[in-house]
Amino acid sequence: MRKTLPSAEQDVAQLIDRLRSGDVRALARAVSLVENDVSSAAEVLSGCFPFSGRALRIGVTGAPGAGKSTLVDKLARHYRSAGMTVGVIAVDPTSPFTGGAILGDRIRMQENLSDPGLYVRSMATRGSLGGLARTTADVASVIEASGKDVILIETVGVGQDEIDIVRLSDVTIVVLVPGMGDDVQSLKAGIMEIADLFVVNKADREGADRVEKEVHAMQSLAGSHSGWVPLVVKTVATTGEGIDRLVAAIVKMKQWLESDGRMEARRKKYWSERITEMMRHALMRQAREHGLSDAELENHAEQVTSGREDPYKLVPELVARVMKA
């Protein structure tokens, strides 16, 4: 178990005090520590935890080209004009060649970055699947701790498998757009089940009405939302048309969640899954700290591939070795 020196604890406490007071540099530093999973990340997250969980988390997902970034930008502007503070987490794909990412949302929202009530953080997936980076949830907690009222989380946009966002968000928005091929087919696998709200963006294009009708026609195929029927809102994000209607739909969804303990139940489900994920990560870290190197794993993979080792016996042996250490 890792130990932190008193001086390090004091540094973390000071960092959290600064980000709580509105120091953007301190917030950026804390987010970087957490995103890079350094040794003090757990202490930072523990210090932020008492101040998290109060913001409304809004996830925005959908296929590439649907206009998610522009929609997030317009939502952020709307909330800021209403006097609410906003955090934006935009997850961008990592290049398989360089390991870097084109963090486009910082470019798109550049004119807003001087606003002290708005914090924008682009994150690279670093190989994670499901549309989010592995540390997205932790970064959201740190930004929440800084006192933001709304957290907007934009996923990569990988398509039908992009369902991790529903675990992290209070309200999940699925963005559709006319003219992207077989619209009905795009709703079948996973996406229909995760949406709390549907946005038909670029609604000034031909086919927008048809997409809206198809969504309504397929409502009966959606997963159980415990009585909530996902609303469909048409927008033209580039001009801001429909943003007011979308915000009103978000308010309606939030009110529904806050009645009969639904918000608490949703967040309890999130933490049930999140704790399992955290345990898995902690166990792998402990395994590596006690000598289970990438080279050894590669060797085991080679042995299993050739049939010289049985993976169903190997894994329990590796786990037992780590637990004894």
Question: Is residue 263 situated within a structural domain?
Answer: no
User: Residues 141, 280: one domain?
Assistant: no
Do 194 and 245 fall into the same domain? yes
Q: Cβ distance 177 to 202 under 8 Å? A: yes
Q: How far apart are the first and last CA of the chain?
A: 11
The tokens for 231 are 């609303």
From 281, 270, 298, select the one nearest 128 (Cα to Cα). Answer: 281
Residue range 293-314: average pLDDT? Answer: 94
Instruction: With beta carbons less than 8 A apart as the criterion, state whether 292 and 318 touch.
Output: yes
Q: What is the mean pLDDT of residues 22-27?
A: 94
In this prediction the pTM is 0.84
**Res 199: pLDDT:** 95
Range of the domain at 287: 269-324
Q: Is residue 244 part of a domain?
A: yes
User: What is the average per-residue pLDDT within 179-189?
Assistant: 56
* 316 falls within a domain: yes
Listed range (31-45, 248-262, 295-309) with the worst mean pLDDT: 31-45
Say if 264 falls within a structural domain.
no
Domain count, the chain: 3
The model's pLDDT over 126-166, given as tens digits with 9 standing for 90+, comes to 544 444 557 888 999 999 999 999 999 998 765 544 567 88
Are 226 and 302 in the same domain? no
Q: Is 211 inside any structural domain?
A: yes
